[in-house]
Chains A and B, each alone.
Chain A
Amino acid sequence: MYKYNDFDAAFIAERNRQFRAQVERRIDGSLSEEEFRPLRLMNGLYLQLHAYMLRVAIPYGTLNSAQMRQLAYIAERWDKGYGHFTTRQNIQYNWPKLQDVPDILDALGEVEMHAIQTSGNTIRNVTADHFAGAAADEIDDPRPVAELLRQWSTDHPEFQFMPRKFKIAITGAPNDRAVIKAHDIGIQIVEQNGERGYRVLVGGGLGRTPMIGKVISDFVTEVDLLPYLESIVSVWNQIGRRDNKYKARIKITVHEHGIDEIRRMVEERFEQVRPTFGGIDQQLLAEIRESFAPPAFRKAEIDDYTRAYDSDPVFRSWIDTNITAHKQADYAIVSISLKAHGKTPGDATADQMRTMADLAERYGHDELRISHEQNVILPHVHNSDLAAVHTALKQAGLATANIGLISDIIACPGMDYCALATARSIPIAQEIATRFDELKLEHEIGPMKIKISGCINACGHHHVGHIGILGLDRAGVENYQITLGGDGTEDATLGERAGPGFSYDEIVPAIERIMNAYLAHRETEAETFLQAYRRLGLAPFKAALYPEAQANAA
């Protein structure tokens, strides 16, 4: 994993020193809130409904055990003993006090972490496939490029005051687990005639005006990638709309000018930008690559694993649900669910963080990942260690076998924390999970992605949920709109609105009716909800959702 060099460490220390002085000046009254606000946001500090919130970057979702332990320490020392992992692969602390934040930032600096560029109109934390470097279907590990992009974009003078924020996601596998089509720029590592390169998409995004990203180039070579991306951002920085916040994202620029025109402008800009890259970035990339070399995979007997799998149904269910194929023989990718039924999606207590850190250190080559689906991954576990890992997770309340199932819900903080929210999302997720657990239907239903946002900003990715739920304020009451058929993978699709929204009390029963309709209409048990939806369309689900309308029409 990437280690800070002297420059990185000095840069973070200097930024923290500056911010400490700014906080002092805010508290002693020499800075007004108007002056202080942009400064705190540059350091990831928001003011939410009940408290400040600190958003800490976890670059491309990768952590080691020391970092995870430090996150636990911060949660305990300065917060309420837990942290919230987000769809941006970051962690948020919901209760820091203003005067403690400089100490928290120093504590993060000790483990090479920070909260810079987690807010504001900058290039945000670059996100990546959470199975990067481990997945069996991967062409190449996307993280060296993600790290290169992080270094290029951090404090880049041209990109500090852009029209809006800018999000980049990268995957090294054809199966897209990083939702690259819903980012300002999406990058996919591809191979053409034996050469490695990048397919680049632009103009995706969710929020008020959801758009699926469009291919701007099918193949950018390795040496051209950074100048090409810089050209995209530069063109947008110039022509992107600054007159209207809601039209400022690059998806609108692409939509208004058309992808062909944008491509032409980018290529023109590229001619100017390309010569300014003298190859330094390639040297850097080569160095970064070394720090992402695969771990020293080991060999061991797996008889115990096979025995446990055959004899212990709880272990077997967990393996069948939470394990993904690894590129290395006899290794597994373990997804640790932060979605215990009835608990807050994405939350982990300090003790749970320590358990996960210990397991990573002991059995996982010291690596952890945060997924945009708000779970934690141990990317490299030898099969012979899976039983021990499972036992330890069970003791920590982390062994829920529900990855990819109906209770593995993405939910943004919503009106329980977020100042922008129009309704709550967390309790809806809790109740759906609890309900389907009671019904004992979740394994029967199979693959199902429910995603919930507490406002139109769509941090909960509801547009690309198989079932999306959007919480709104309708005349002073919480109201939940359902979209169906969304998909965040390589076949990215925006969900279709099912009809009028539901009240807080009606939304869980509404989801149950959709699931019953699916179970009644699927052709075979192997047909997933999404497949059934694509075959049947909205009609049967609409009928299940709005039985009164059916009755009235009859």
Chain B
Amino acid sequence: MPRAFTPKVITANALLEGDVVYLTADDIWTRDLDAAELLEDEAHAQLRLIEAQARVHEVVGAYLADMKPSPHGPEPTHFREEFRRTGPSNYFHGKQAEKNHV
């Protein structure tokens, strides 16, 4: 039996800044994982990925990342995505620092 599809978000790195971005339901690249569109249907996810990958002048390396739903938005299921949405552990740099400004 094929494995059941697990929910995902589309993520990439921004072309200019190189930082982590996520795709929202209304086609905006956001820095905030909470605002990302959680894709629960496989065919829809593939379609969205193709659309995202076509936006080559905004982002680099778009891919589908596993997430699970939570009350405040998608949550990483793997530590790599947890680090990507947080920033490095040795300095208070990256997303964790920028969040404070918002």
Contacts and interface: CB of A to CB of B under 8 A. Distances in A.
Interface in A40-87: 47-52, 80
Contacts of A151: none
B56 A416 contact: no
Interface string B15-49: 11111100000000000000000000000000000
A256 to B, nearest CB: 34
Contacts of B89: 416, 424, 426-427
B19 A51 contact: yes
Contacts of A424: 83, 89
A415 B13 CA distance: 16
A426 B87 contact: no
B79 A27 contact: no
Interface stretch (A94-102, A122-130, A243-251, A441-449): A94-102
A116 B88 CA distance: 27
Contact of B94 (A27, A50, A97, A430): A50
Contact of B88 (A29, A417, A473, A476): A417
Interface in A155-194: none
A415 B94 CA distance: 14
B78 interface: yes
A344 B91 CA distance: 9
A137 interface: no
A50 B56 contact: no
Contacts of B20: 49-50
A331 B77 CA distance: 56
B17 A51 contact: yes
B84 A50 contact: yes
B53 to A, nearest CB: 10
A14 interface: no
B16 A27 contact: yes
A19 to B, nearest CB: 16
Contacts of A27: 15-16, 57
Nearest to A80: B93
A476 B77 contact: yes
Given A416-B89, A426-B90, A430-B90, A51 B79 contact: no
A33 B16 contact: no
A47 B17 contact: no
Contacts of B18: 47-48, 50-52, 96-98
A416 B88 CA distance: 4
Interface in B49-74: 56-57, 60-61
A426 B89 CA distance: 8
A477 interface: yes
Nearest to A28: B57
A490 B20 CA distance: 44
B19 A50 contact: yes
A344 B79 contact: no
Contacts of B90: 344, 347, 416, 426-427, 430
Nearest to A100: B16
Nearest to A34: B56
Nearest to B83: A415
B16 A97 contact: yes
Nearest to B86: A50
Given A27-B16, A50-B94, A97-B16, A33 B56 contact: yes
B101 interface: no
A328 interface: no
A476 B16 contact: no
Nearest to B78: A476
A170 to B, nearest CB: 32
Contacts of A80: 91, 93
A460 to B, nearest CB: 15
B79 A29 contact: no
A27 B60 CA distance: 12
Contacts of A98: 15-18
A97 B80 CA distance: 22
A32 interface: yes
Given A29-B57, A95-B93, A97-B18, A50 B79 contact: no
5 contacts: A27-B57, A47-B13, A47-B60, A51-B13, A415-B83
Given A33-B61, A99-B16, A416-B90, 19 more contacts: A27-B16, A29-B57, A48-B18, A50-B19, A50-B95, A51-B13, A51-B17, A51-B19, A80-B91, A80-B93, A94-B88, A98-B18, A347-B90, A416-B88, A416-B89, A426-B90, A427-B90, A430-B90, A476-B77
The 10 A-B residue pairs with the shortest CB-CB distance, nearest first, are A416-B88, A52-B18, A51-B18, A29-B57, A50-B94, A344-B90, A426-B90, A427-B89, A98-B16, A33-B60
